[in-house]
Amino acid sequence: MAMTQMPTPDQPLKLGTRGSPLALAQAHETRARLMAAHDLPEAAFEVVVIKTTGDDRAMIASDKPLKEIGNKGLFTKEIEEAMLDGRIDIAIHSMKDMPTVQPEGLVLDTYLPREDVRDAFVSLKATTIHDLPEGAVVGTSSLRRRAQLLSRRPDLKLVEFRGNVQTRRQKLADGVAEATFLAMAGLNRLGMTELAAGAIAPEDMLPAVAQGAIGIERRVDDARAAQLLSPIHDIPTEQRLTVERAFLATLDGSCETPIAGLALIEGGEIWMRGEILRPDGSECLRAEGRASLSDAGELGIDVARALLDQAPKGFFDWKRG
C-alpha cells in the first residue's frame, strides 16, 4: 500500500463542521484525537466552519418546529458539497442527526468512542419528571422526547424549544418552561454537565438512535483521509450503530416519527431495544432482541420488524406519506 501523505501546516487535513458550540467541540475533539494518533501538531489540521441552510432558517424561524423548516439534510447538504468540491476533506457529525444513506461519492464509517447515551433532565425547579407540578410546561423540539414524556405524564404542556444550550438555559431562567431535555453527551462535550438535574436511565427514556456518537464522513476515493482516520475509529461504537441504524432504516424513520433505539454489547453478544410511539404518547410499542456480534445488522432489522408486526392498523397514519 502507498505511504500516506501526512498532512502538514502547508497542506493540512481540513475538518468541516457546523459553527454551533457543540459542533465546534466535536471538531476539536476529533482534531485532538488525530494529533495524538499521528503525533502531529495542531497546524496539520484545519477546522473549517461551513454555514448551512438549516442554521440560517433555524435562526430566522426560531419558534417554528424543525420539521416545518425542512428535513435533516438541510444541516448537512452544504457540508457534503464542500467535501465533494475539495474545500474540506472530512466532515464531523453528530450521528443522531445523520440520514442512514449518504450521497454518492461519500462514506460515513469512522466513529469516535461513544459518549453517555442518556438524556439529561434540565430544570431549575424539579429534579425528575415526576417532581414536576401538575400541568407544568416543558420545552422540547424533539418528537421522541415529547411522546415519551407524555406517555408518562399526559398532564404536562409542551412548547417548542430550540437553539443552543445557552439559549435554552436562558429560556428556563425566564420562566418560558419549567424543564427541558438535552443529551448528556452534548452537555459533557461542552463542559456543562452540571446543568443536568439528572441523567435519565434508558429504561425510563430510551435515547435516540446513535445518540452520543460522533461520525466522520469522507470522500470514498480519499486514501489519505481513510488512513488518517483508521486509528481513531472505535469498533464497539461501530457495532452498536450498525444495529441501531439498521433498525432506523428498516422503520424508514424521518424526523416526524417518534423512534428510540439503543444497542449494548454484553459479553460477546449485542442486545438491542427499540421503541415507537404515537406523537401524543398514547401508545408506546417496544421490542428487543439479542444476537452474536457478527449478526449486528440483522438484529436491527429483526427488532424493527417485531415493532411493525405489533403496530395496530392505523398506527402510522399520522405519518406524512
Ligand X SMILES: NCc1[nH]cc(CCC(=O)O)c1CC(=O)O
Indicate which residues carry an active-site annotation.
97
**Helix 21-38 × helix 165-173 angle, to 10°:** 140
Smallest gap from Cβ 132 to ligand X, in A, equals 19
Site for ligand X in 80-109 (CB under 6 A): 94, 96-97
Instruction: Identify residue 123 by its one-letter amino acid code.
Output: S
Task: Give the per-residue contact string, 211-230, with ligand X (x = CB under 6 A; - = no).
Answer: xx------------------
d(CA 172, CA 179): 7
Smallest gap from Cβ 74 to ligand X, in A, equals 12
- Angle of CA points 160, 165, 170, to nearest 5°: 75
CA dihedral 230, 233, 236, 237 (to 10 degrees): -140
Site for ligand X in 149-188 (CB under 6 A): 182-183, 185-186
Which CB sits closer to ligand X, 222 or 275?
275
Which CB sits closer to ligand X, 211 or 242?
211
Beta-sheet strand order (sheet of 13-17) = 45-49, 13-17, 90-94, 214-219, 106-111
Which CB sits closer to ligand X, 17 or 211?
211
275 in Cβ contact with 304 (< 8 Å): no
Number of residues engaging ligand X in binding (CB under 6 A): 9
Smallest gap from Cβ 86 to ligand X, in A, equals 27
Q: Which of 264-290 are b and which e, b meaning 16 or more Cβ less than 10 Å from the residue's Cβ?
A: ebeeeebbbbbbbbbeebeebbebbbe
Smallest gap from Cβ 182 to ligand X, in A, equals 4
Residues that bind ligand X (CB under 6 A): 94, 96-97, 182-183, 185-186, 211-212
